Structure 1
Amino acid sequence: MSRTRRIAIAGGTFMSALGVGFIMQSMAGSPEPAAASPVVESAAHTAEDAPLPVTNVVSTSAPIPPEVAPQPELLPSAPVARAEIAPAAFDERRITELPGEEPAPTFSCEISLEAKPVAAALVELTLDAPCMANERFTLHHHGMMFTEATNQDGAQHLVVPALTRSAVYMVSFANGEGAVATTEVTSMDYYDRVVVQWKGQSGLQIHALEYGAGYGDEGHVWAGAPRDMAAAAQGKGGFVTRHGRGGMDTALMAEVYTFPAGLMDREGDVELSVEAEVTQNNCDRDVEAQTIQISAGGKPLVQDLVLAMPGCDATGDFLVLKNLVNDLKIARK
């Protein structure tokens, strides 16, 4: 399309439910033989009609044995002399130490996960799974989950948001193996976070309009203008991160907006929305997703949604989901 349309959708036009878990997982017969005809032998008779004498009749019904049966060869009369073999020499020294056995080679298949807090209430994760090279896994943390994969060495390094001060992260592989890591994120109380997560290629995005900014302004923070954690750590504004191995229909994905509410010295509002771009991958289909919102390290507010996407003739348009997440109210510190 030549222009982009944004269609605002009120909260009541899509199905939403609180506290529901994330919806994610044809012979032809031969002729009878003729009877053998008897062989009739005729013999000439003399005038007197006397029978002729029959001599040298040889029977052909049994084999003729040889005149002399073969006899075994005689053994030589002289005995065979046996060579004398000298006895082998033996070492009579006593063996006091047996040779040590070579240790059998081993290969460690232990999976380990380490977690370390870094700036902006983020956590650095280091996964080591030597038996799981190039394998997909799911990362779980406080309701957030997304799909990732190890490299050719069975390792992976990630920087992910914390959603709680006492952060627990779990990695799970398809065969049931996994690992757990915990860490304390002391800066969590200074940050507000909004998570939207989905399965496959949904086209969902978080958009934040900070302090009255419009679309395309510097205060418009989204995946196309995400900023980085330095802006939040310095109290200049929020940033967006995306997590998960995209491009797969079955992959779990998450997008997170982080705002340093506890570090800002300027009061105002941050207008938040979740938008769904209509694409060839999601048009004329239902999109399932979930949002998680946490303010100042408090309890998470969770909402599930099912959104009926328009037909494919609307490709390129955006659906703006109003009131799915709460705007942020920033007070002066």
Structure 2
Amino acid sequence: MIEIILHAPCNAGEPVSFEHAGLRFTEKLGPAGSLMVEVPAMTGTARVSARVSGGDAREISVTLPDFDAFDRIGVIWQGSTGLQLHAMEGGASYGDPGHKWSDTPGNPDEATAGEGGFISVLGSTASGYAADVYTYPASLMQKGVEPEISVEAEVMQNTCGGEIEGFILRSNPGRAPNAEPLRMKVPGCDAVGEYLVLKNLPVELKLARR
């Protein structure tokens, strides 16, 4: 994880757009113009840019020596789409302790200990980019207890009868992340409150350790 602290007192309350190796999300500066975010590293040498509304982008670069010890998969979208990323660890079902998603994201300490993964929930503005990123120890794949990943979307009044779009991003040791566009057709408004589930991820995005 990459911890970023911003101080921009003259821009208090304004949005900040972050980009890193295909990962995009938008946060909002606090009342004093400060912000702290933890960004999941999608590359071993990570470059993260931050742009305050109307300003120039500022970039940092950091090398993560333990990058190959963890894998990451994320879903990215813009605006209110209802998209969510879910990870089922150890054969967990919905609501079990091994079910990781935005409401029960887990703890980075679990990943450090090699026991499980956690979800980073990024993005806090209504119209900006947002992302859910699941980080998990690569050792889970070697133990043969790989998590089951699904992308889900709640049918909402603003999406029913239309189509929602986003991207799925998957880290790659020693290479740039794999990225695939995501499109889901949403049923009519009589289905509001129901969920669409995408379990069959493209082959290059499936959890695998080569």
1:328 counterpart = 2:198: no
**CA spacing shift, 1:217–1:298, aligned 2, 3 Å:** farther
What corresponds to 1:276 in structure 2? 153
Percentage of matched positions with identical amino acids:
39
Q: Contact 2:84/2:101 (CA < 8 Å) preserved in 1?
A: yes
Q: Equivalent of 1:213, from 71, 87, 92? A: 92
After superposition, give the CA deviation of every residue in 1:234-266 in whole Å (9 maximum; x if it has no partner).
1110111110114x1x22111101111147773
SS in 2 for 1:186: coil
Residue of structure 2 equivalent to 1:175? 54
| Unmatched runs of 5 consecutive residues or more in structure 1 | 1-121
| 1:67-94 Cα deviation digits (max 9, x unpaired) | xxxxxxxxxxxxxxxxxxxxxxxxxxxx
Residues in 1 aligned to 2:42 and 2:136: alpha-carbon distance in whole angstroms:
13
Asked if 1:255 corresponds to 2:127, the answer is no
CA distance in structure 1 between the partners assigned to 2:162 and 2:153 by the alignment = 12
- Which runs of no fewer than 5 residues in structure 2 stay unpaired? none
Shift of 1:317: 1.3
Using the TM superposition, give the Cα deviation of residue 306 of structure 1 relative to its aligned residue in structure 2, in angstroms.
Answer: 2.5
Secondary structure of the structure 1 residue equivalent to 2:147: strand
With over 3 angstroms needed to count, the CA separation of the structure-2 counterparts of 1:182 and 1:239, relative to structure 1, is same
1:292 Cα offset (Å)? 0.4
Read off the aligned partner of 1:289 and give its amino acid letter.
G
The equivalent residue for 2:63 is 184
Maintained 8 Å contact 1:270/1:327: no
Residue 305 of structure 1 deviates from its aligned partner by 2.2
Q: Does 2:80 align with 1:165? A: no
Larger strand percent? 2
Structure 2 CA distance for aligned equivalents of residues 217 and 327 of structure 1:
23
Q: Which amino acid aligns with 2:180?
A: Q
The equivalent of 2:8 in structure 1 is 129
Within a 5 Å distance, the mapping from 1:1-333 to structure 2 comes to 122-246=1-125, 248=126, 250-262=127-139, 266-296=143-173, 298-324=175-201, 326-329=205-208
Change (3 A) 1:284 1:264: closer
Structure 1 runs (4+) deviating above 6 angstroms are none
CA distance in 2, matches of 1:156, 1:130: 10
The two structures, once aligned, show a CA RMSD in angstroms of: 2.1
Q: CA deviation at 1:180?
A: 1.3
TM-score by length of 2: 0.90
Q: Which amino acid aligns with 1:241?
A: S
